């Protein structure tokens, strides 16, 4: 038996589940302690905020009228099935499986939980740098969450 056939996808599904749990716990804390638009100064370049994003990354399609909620949920379902299939097919490739597990956790957290439950994704990490002022309003990179970080890793 080679590494491919002996390797299990369970550790990778566990990593995805960990990302989902951390993502949802932090979002519950934000929802319980912040009103929409509230902000807490943490450092000169970082705040905790409460933002609702009904669109995709960088608020793409946020003002599309509501259909995007179910569109992005559907994409999340398709992505989840595809990623699990890819994990099974490439279970012996650790780095690739790590990346897939992180993306899976993020897709589930944002698209399969937040969108159907709230109609939007809860974002709260707000990084801002003066050198970004020409690109983003006030130098604030679009707010994001743990699921987004998982997708990006």
Q: What is the pLDDT of residues 48-104, one digit of tens each?
A: 999 998 766 555 555 556 676 788 788 889 999 999 999 999 988 999 999 999 999
Residues acting as catalytic residues: 123, 148
> Which backbone phi and psi does 119 adopt, to 5 degrees?
90, 0
Alpha helices for the chain (secondary structure H): 3-6, 10-33, 67-89, 94-107, 115-118, 146-152
Q: Which of 29-38, 104-113, 118-127, 137-146 has the highest mean pLDDT?
A: 29-38
**At 49, is the secondary structure helix, strand, or coil?**
strand
CA–centroid distance for 138 within its chain: 23
Mean pLDDT (the chain) is: 87
The pLDDT value recorded for residue 1 is: 42
The pLDDT value recorded for residue 4 is: 54
| Domain residue ranges of the chain, discontinuous segments joined by + | 8-142
Measured from the Cβ of residue 132, the count of other Cβ atoms closer than 10 Å reads 14
pTM over 0.95: no
Beta strand 39-43 with 46-53 is antiparallel
The pLDDT value recorded for residue 19 is: 98
């Amino acid at each position: 038996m080679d590494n491919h056939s002996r390797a299990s996808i369970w550790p990778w599904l566990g990593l995805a589940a960990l990302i989902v749990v951390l993502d949802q716990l932090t979002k519950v804390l934000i929802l319980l302690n912040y009103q929409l638009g509230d902000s807490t100064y943490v450092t000169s370049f970082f705040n905790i905020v409460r933002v609702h994003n009904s669109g995709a990354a960088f608020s793409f399609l946020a003002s599309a009228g509501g259909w995007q909620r179910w569109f992005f949920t559907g994409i999340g379902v398709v992505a989840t099935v595809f990623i699990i299939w890819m994990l099974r097919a490439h279970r012996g490739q650790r780095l690739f499986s790590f990346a897939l597990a992180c993306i899976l956790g993020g897709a589930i957290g944002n698209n399969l939980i937040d969108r159907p439950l709230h109609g939007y994704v809860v974002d709260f990490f707000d990084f801002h740098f003066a050198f970004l002022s020409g690109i983003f309003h006030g130098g604030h990179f679009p707010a994001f969450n743990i699921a987004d970080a998982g997708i990006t890793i």
